[in-house]
Chain A
């Protein structure tokens, strides 16, 4: 099993550009999450999903959209990137409310 994978690993965008981050899990987990990690801020939840076709807002959802068209995939979109969205993005999945499995992260820089 690959666990949780994220694509791409690194990306540099210009302000105003758009992009989609892909998260995939092969553990048949119902729950999936997108977090951002900033220095001194810990991890903050952006959006999450409790099952295929459902999404919900987390702590810091503004400027992001998500979709969960397939159970194994959770996409995070930035429609118009801003420098404040420079961060490391982590995806996670879980089968219940217990252990979350994390991907390796995507380092995004917005110039």
Chain B
């Protein structure tokens, strides 16, 4: 079955760049996602990348996709204390009957040190 792996913790200093890594197993995934969860809140879609892309940049966020190694990364430039949250990597897979399901990683808790 599908599996998404990510490291559980990352700690960076304010102003530095953060890089959160993720590996996935389903080579047929068409989209890969990064979600952000702040304490006590639901998940918010940060960005996503289509499988035929290698890179996507959106302001301070850069997503890199290595399809050969099934590796996805999220880089946050100039990390701020407001970026402290749990970041989930997710891949989408066709589950039959015209429906798709997201498979989430366990989440990486990013702590930003002032």
Residues of chain A touching chain B, judged by Cβ–Cβ distance below 8 Å, are 4, 31, 40-45, 48, 50, 56, 58, 90, 92, 97-105
Contacts and interface: CB of A to CB of B under 8 A. Distances in A.
A48 B88 CA distance: 20
B31 A42 contact: no
Interface in B71-114: 88, 92, 95, 97-102, 104-107
B102 to A, nearest CB: 6
Which of B98, B102, B106 has the most A CB atoms < 10 Å from its CB? B102
Interface residues of B, number: 26
A56 B99 contact: yes
A98 B8 contact: no
B55 interface: no
Contact of A97 (B40, B42, B100, B105): B100
A31 B43 contact: no
A55 to B, nearest CB: 11
Contacts of B92: 97-98
A41 B106 contact: yes
Interface of B: 4, 8, 30-31, 33, 35, 40-45, 48, 88, 92, 95, 97-102, 104-107
B105 A42 contact: yes
A105 B42 contact: yes
B36 to A, nearest CB: 11
6 contacts: A4-B42, A48-B101, A56-B97, A99-B48, A102-B42, A102-B43
Which of B8, B88, B97, B107 has the most A CB atoms < 10 Å from its CB? B107
Contact of A43 (B43, B44, B98, B100): B43
Contact of A90 (B8, B42, B105): B42
A1 B35 CA distance: 21
A43 B42 contact: no
